[in-house]
Amino acid sequence: MANRFIPALLMALLVVIHAQLWFGRGSVPQVNALRLDLSRVEVANKAAQHRNEQVASEVDDLREGLYTVEELARQDFGMVKPNEIFVQFANGLR
C-alpha cells in the first residue's frame, strides 16, 4: 500500500506544479503576454523619444536664431520680404 501511495503523491504534486506553470500567476502564457506588451511599449517609447528630440531641436533653433522663424513664416503663412516677388507653382498639371 505504501508502495502505491508515494508515486501517487508525487504525481499529484507534479500535476499541481504543472498546473501552476500553465494557469497560475506568472504562467507561461502570462509571461508571453507581458513580453509582447513590453515590446509594444518599447516601440512607443522610441517613437516618443524621437519626437521629443525633434521638438527639442526645433525649440533650440527658435531660441538661437530668427532664420527658422522666418522660414516657418514663409512656409505656413506665405510671408514675403519687402521688394520680393512671391511665386507659387501648382503641383498638378492638366
Total-model pTM: 0.49
Provide the terminal-to-terminal Cα distance of the chain, rounded to the nearest Å: 96
Q: Which pLDDT tens digit goes with each residue over 45-72?
A: 999 999 999 999 988 877 887 777 788 8
Higher-confidence position of 21 and 38:
38
The alpha carbon of residue 5 and the mean position of all alpha carbons in its chain are separated, in whole angstroms, by 54
d(CA 11, CA 39): 37
pLDDT for residue 36? 96
pLDDT value of position 93: 58
26 dihedral zone (left: phi>0; alpha: psi -120 to 50; beta): left
Q: pLDDT at position 83, please?
A: 86
Residue type, 65: G
Cell numbers describing residue 76: 505656413
Output the pLDDT for position 55.
94
Residue 22 · residue 29 · CB < 8 Å:
yes
